Amino acid sequence: MATLKTVLHTKTDKKGKKEFRLALRLTVNRKRSYYHLGQKLKPEFWDESGEKVKTSHPKYKRLNRLIRKKYDEIEDIIFDLEASKQNYTAKGVIDSIRKDTRKLSFFELANEHIGDLINANKHNRAISDRSKINTIKEFVKNRNLTFEEIDEQLLKKLKIYLRSNAGISERSAMNVLVLIRLLFNIAISKKIVDRKFYPFGKDKIKIKYPQTIKIGLDENEIRKIEELDLEEGTPTWHTRNIFLFSFYLAGIRISDVLRMEWSDINGDRLYYKMSKNDKADSLKLPDQVIKILDYYKIDKRLKSDYIFPDLKNLPNKDSKTIYTRIKSSIKRHNTNLKMIAGLAKIDKKITNHISRHSFGNIAGDKVSPQMLQKLYRHTHLSTTIGYQGNFIHKNADEALDAIINFSK
């Protein structure tokens, strides 16, 4: 026999603070499963005997309507199962409601999206997208939006809010809109919302990233870093190795560098998959890279060992643990790179990602865009051309000189 009840489900966060969440609790054969309605409520606003939100709450009508809607949906499923004499469990019924994507709200689908990222071990993206979703929640004051409500007018107001109240950059604001567009496309594909409500595209909301200036190191500055007299085994020495390893291999992202294992090296080649887009590639190991690897071989025990020590001695290879360690390592290396810039007397901000910009800056127009596309592991050639445009100045410089040097 099934028992369905609306309750305030208590959850304690990491700081020990209690949260009370509106939920439907289904009990079947003494086993319970909860369907959370995506709403938090203070106990003083909850009528436990009536299983409803008290009229003293400013949004009691909307919340009680939400409760009734989901309550009826779960009851309908139970009635259908019992009428057809099918066995069922509380979890099975609740799971079927969660999968009933036709009725998902924007934030419910967003939660599913973040859950999918976590299950796919894409913790960096999950954390980033969760932060964007929280910003949107702040803007709508935790209102449980339907996709139909996300129209051009709301998005225009959101853009203003992001730049003024939230105080984020134009580029970050565009990233929030990109996430909304992604979720909208998922909702359309799952028939949660009709395409006619799509607020993006021609004569609607356009997503255009502002141009940014990418500045890399030049050959002389790279040489200064190479020639620094750093004591072997020190943190700054290790950071320099990581930075140069990335630079020598066409600016491999540091998160990929730290994840590399000895098994990724076969003979004189590196075989690896880029975590950002899962694109596999193979690169010949330059002599400079082989020299760096020789320093770390002394600690090699197994082919599955990490090349660099940043991820060693982890209790397991859990993706979330690895992500947390990588994040702290990147912060530490960026701090060390500031010291290295000072020692090398380089008047530019140096971070781990600058190794990629430096490769592009030194490559300039020496190599064809098609070859650079392969070296950068870009999926589209247009991405490479746009990226490299930040570093090719020769023709423009010559044209400028030709115009203003008329008096010579």
138: number of Cβ within 10 Å: 12
- Report which residue type is found at 237: W
- CA pair distance 1, 31, nearest whole angstrom: 11
The answer to whether 103 and 119 are in contact (CB under 8 A) is no
Same domain flag for 72 and 134: no
Q: How many helices (H) and strands (E) does the chain have?
A: 15, 8
Same domain flag for 77 and 136: no
Q: What is the pTM of this model?
A: 0.58
Of the residues 99, 123, 151, the one at which a domain ends: 99
Please report where in the chains the tokens 């090719």 appear, as a residue. 392
Q: Within a domain: residue 66?
A: yes
Same domain flag for 247 and 329: yes
- Report which residue type is found at 189: S
- CA pair distance 306, 257, nearest whole angstrom: 10
Same domain flag for 95 and 110: no
Q: What confidence score (pLDDT) does residue 73 get?
A: 86
Of the residues 164, 197, 230, the one at which a domain ends: 197
Of the residues 78, 99, 120, the one at which a domain ends: 99
Does residue 400 carry a pLDDT above 50? no
- CA pair distance 195, 150, nearest whole angstrom: 12
Mean pLDDT of the 4-30 span: 85
pLDDT bin (cut points 50, 70, 90) of residue 405 is low
Residue 372's CATH number: 1.10.443.10
Q: What confidence score (pLDDT) does residue 276 get?
A: 62
Mean pLDDT of the 353-361 span: 80
Same domain flag for 265 and 354: yes
Q: Within a domain: residue 400?
A: no
Same domain flag for 283 and 261: yes
pLDDT bin (cut points 50, 70, 90) of residue 164 is confident
Q: Within a domain: residue 331?
A: yes
Mean pLDDT of the 325-344 span: 94
Structural domains in the chain (count) = 3
Determine the structural domain holding residue 266 and report its residue range: 219-395
Q: Within a domain: residue 214?
A: no
- CA pair distance 287, 294, nearest whole angstrom: 11
Residue 214 or residue 50, greater confidence: 50
Which residues does residue 35 pair with via DSSP β-bridges, in sequence order?
24
Q: Within a domain: residue 213?
A: no
Q: What confidence score (pLDDT) does residue 399 get?
A: 52
Q: Return the closest-CA partner of residue 352 out of 255, 213, 223.
A: 255
The answer to whether 225 and 345 are in contact (CB under 8 A) is no
Length of the chain: 408
Q: What confidence score (pLDDT) does residue 218 get?
A: 84
The secondary structure element, H or E, covering residue 2 is: strand 2-12
- Write the pLDDT tens digit of every residue in 251-271: 888 988 999 999 999 988 888
The answer to whether 311 and 258 are in contact (CB under 8 A) is yes
- CA pair distance 142, 107, nearest whole angstrom: 9
Percent of the chain with pLDDT over 90: 38
- Please give the mean pLDDT across all residues of the chain: 84
Q: Within a domain: residue 210?
A: no
C-alpha 14, offset from chain centre: 22
Q: Return the closest-CA partner of residue 23 out of 80, 90, 87.
A: 90
Same domain flag for 174 and 262: no
pLDDT bin (cut points 50, 70, 90) of residue 225 is very high
Please report where in the chains the tokens 């003024």 appear, as a residue. 164
- CA pair distance 206, 217, nearest whole angstrom: 34
Same domain flag for 301 and 322: yes
- CA pair distance 99, 83, nearest whole angstrom: 21
- Write the pLDDT tens digit of every residue in 59-103: 899 899 989 988 998 998 888 888 888 888 998 888 877 765 456
Same domain flag for 68 and 141: no
Tokens of 242: 């990581």
- Report which residue type is found at 313: N
Q: Within a domain: residue 54?
A: yes
Please report where in the chains the tokens 């190794």 appear, as a residue. 355
Q: Within a domain: residue 56?
A: yes
Same domain flag for 81 and 111: no
pLDDT bin (cut points 50, 70, 90) of residue 398 is low
- CA pair distance 193, 73, nearest whole angstrom: 19
Same domain flag for 41 and 81: yes
The answer to whether 337 and 351 are in contact (CB under 8 A) is yes
Same domain flag for 148 and 188: yes
- Write the pLDDT tens digit of every residue in 335-352: 999 999 999 999 988 988
Residue 159 or residue 403, greater confidence: 159
Name every residue whose Cβ is closer than 8 Å to that of residue 192 and which is 6 or more positions away in sequence.
Answer: 101, 102, 103, 104, 109, 147
